[in-house]
Amino acid sequence: MLKEFKEFAMRGNVVDMAVGVIIGGAFGKIVTSLINDVIMPPIGLLLGQVNFTDLFLDLSGKGYPSLAAAQEAGAATINYGMFLNTILDFVVVALVIFLLVRQINRMQKQEKTPLAAPTTKKCPYCCTEIPIEATRCPHCTSELH
């Protein structure tokens, strides 16, 4: 069983998938930083000094001044600002993946060239490659039909 697992794990597809998952996780962190540290601050500034990560609904009704204070007190909250950030993360990751797959598909279409018509055939008697127009095999001298 250990041998079978090793063969499974070392197949090209499994290793490629593992590398993809690791790179995808790192890419997700980059996108999260881009959203939280680059995109959301200017949007918050344009909307009147709003920090989206601090947007929440206090379900306890006590009126906490910040999300950190509500969480410290153990109050139930709906953190819709963090949810908005997560949605934006997803949209950016999905867009980048879409663009990447689209570009890969374009490159693969360009690489595919139409197959050229065959210029040789095999002699049915001696299996030597001969020109397709040949009527007699130059190797075994058999007549070809």
The maximal CA–CA distance of the chain, rounded, in angstroms, is: 101
Q: What is the pLDDT of residues 9-61, one digit of tens each?
A: 676 677 778 888 898 888 888 888 888 888 888 888 887 877 777 888 888 88
Instruction: Tell me which architecture the domain covering 2-113 has in CATH.
Output: Orthogonal Bundle (1.10)
Whether pTM exceeds 0.75: no
> In the chain, where are the structural domains located?
2-113, 117-145
Q: Which residues of 58-76 are buried (b: 16+ CB within 10 A; e: fewer)?
A: beeeeebeebeebeeeebe
